[in-house]
Structure 1
Amino acid sequence: MPPSLPPEVRDRLRSGAVIPAMPLALTAGRRLDERRQRALCRYYAAAGSGGLAVGVHTTQFAIRESKYGLFQPVLALAAEEMDRADARSRQPLIRVGGVCGPTNQAVTEATILRDLGYHAGLLSLSAVAGDDDQAKLAHCRAVAEVLPLVGFYLQRAVGGPDHSFHFWRSFAEIENVVAIKVAPFDRYRTLDVVRAVVESGRDDLALYTGNDDAIVHDLISPYRFPVGSEWVERRFVGGLLGHWAVWTKKAVELLEACHAATSGDRPSTDLTIALLRQSAHVTDANAAFFDAANGFAGCIAGLHEILRRQGLLEGIWCLDPDEGLSPGQREEIDRVTRSYPDLNDDAFVAEHRDDWLSG
Structure 2
Amino acid sequence: MSRLTDRLRGGVVIPAHPLALTEDGAVDLVAQRALTRYYAEAGAHGVAVGVHTTQFALHADQGLLAEVWRLAAAAGRGALLVAGVCGDVADAVREAGTAAALGYDAALLCPWGMEEATDEALLERARAVGEILPTIGFYLQESVGGRRLGRAFWRDLFDIETVVAVKSAPFDRYRSNDVVQALLEHDRWADVAVLTGNDDAIVHDLVTPVRRTVGGRTREVRTAGGLLGQWAVGTAAAVGLVAEACAARDAGAVPTPLLAAAADLVEINAAVFDVDHGFAGCVAGVNEVLRQQGLLRSARCLSAAERLSPGQRERIQDVRDRHPGWLDEEFVAEHRDRWLA
Match of 1:56 in 2: 51
Match of 2:233 in 1: 246
**Partner-residue secondary structure (3-state), 1:237:** strand
| Match among 246, 249, 257 for residue 274 of structure 1 | 257
Change (3 A) 1:354 1:132: closer
**Partner-residue secondary structure (3-state), 1:311:** coil
AA in 1 matched with 2:37: R
Match of 2:287 in 1: 304
The whole-number CA distance in structure 2 between the counterparts of 1:170 and 1:321 is 37
AA in 1 matched with 2:74: E
The whole-number CA distance in structure 1 between the counterparts of 2:67 and 2:115 is 28
| Match among 4, 15, 24 for residue 10 of structure 2 | 15
Runs of 5+ consecutive residues of structure 1 not aligned to the other structure? 87-92
Residues 1:153 and 2:139 are matched in the alignment: yes
| Match among 309, 316, 319 for residue 299 of structure 2 | 316
Match of 1:336 in 2: 319
The whole-number CA distance in structure 2 between the counterparts of 1:128 and 1:223 is 32
The whole-number CA distance in structure 1 between the counterparts of 2:322 and 2:280 is 23
Match of 2:27 in 1: 32
The whole-number CA distance in structure 1 between the counterparts of 2:302 and 2:94 is 23
The whole-number CA distance in structure 1 between the counterparts of 2:126 and 2:13 is 25
Match of 2:170 in 1: 184
Match of 2:85 in 1: 99
Moved more, 211-220 or 326-335: 326-335
Q: TM-score, normalised by structure 1?
A: 0.91
Q: TM-score, normalised by structure 2?
A: 0.95
Deviation for aligned residue 1:127: 4.6
Residues 1:233 and 2:220 are matched in the alignment: yes
Runs of 5+ consecutive residues of structure 2 not aligned to the other structure? none
Match of 1:175 in 2: 161
| Match among 275, 282, 292 for residue 275 of structure 2 | 292
Deviation for aligned residue 1:132: 4.5
Match of 1:257 in 2: 244
8 A Cα contact 1:102 1:127, kept in partner: yes
**Partner-residue secondary structure (3-state), 1:167:** helix
Match of 1:78 in 2: 72
The whole-number CA distance in structure 2 between the counterparts of 1:186 and 1:224 is 19
Query: 1:117-128 residue pairs with structure 2 within 5 A?
Result: 117-128=103-114
C-alpha root-mean-square deviation of aligned residues, in Å? 1.6
The whole-number CA distance in structure 2 between the counterparts of 1:345 and 1:307 is 11
Deviation for aligned residue 1:26: 1.0
Deviation for aligned residue 1:332: 1.6
**Partner-residue secondary structure (3-state), 2:20:** coil
The whole-number CA distance in structure 1 between the counterparts of 2:91 and 2:272 is 31
8 A Cα contact 1:14 1:204, kept in partner: no
**Partner-residue secondary structure (3-state), 2:167:** strand
The whole-number CA distance in structure 1 between the counterparts of 2:218 and 2:170 is 25
The whole-number CA distance in structure 2 between the counterparts of 1:131 and 1:42 is 35
Match of 1:90 in 2: none
Match of 2:152 in 1: 166
Could you give the per-residue CA deviations for residues 112-134 of structure 1, whole angstroms, max 9, x where no partner exists? 11111100000023555845433
Could you give the per-residue CA deviations for residues 118-158 of structure 1, whole angstroms, max 9, x where no partner exists? 00000023555845433432221111111100100000011
Match of 1:89 in 2: none
Change (3 A) 1:127 1:314: closer
Match of 2:338 in 1: 355
**Partner-residue secondary structure (3-state), 1:152:** strand
Match of 2:308 in 1: 325
AA in 2 matched with 1:45: A
8 A Cα contact 1:206 1:236, kept in partner: yes
AA in 2 matched with 1:165: R
Query: 1:35-46 residue pairs with structure 2 within 5 A?
Result: 35-46=30-41
Moved more, 288-297 or 321-330: 321-330
Could you give the per-residue CA deviations for residues 5-46 of structure 1, whole angstroms, max 9, x where no partner exists? 7x3x44321212100000011112211111111100000000
| Match among 198, 209, 214 for residue 211 of structure 1 | 198
**Partner-residue secondary structure (3-state), 1:15:** coil
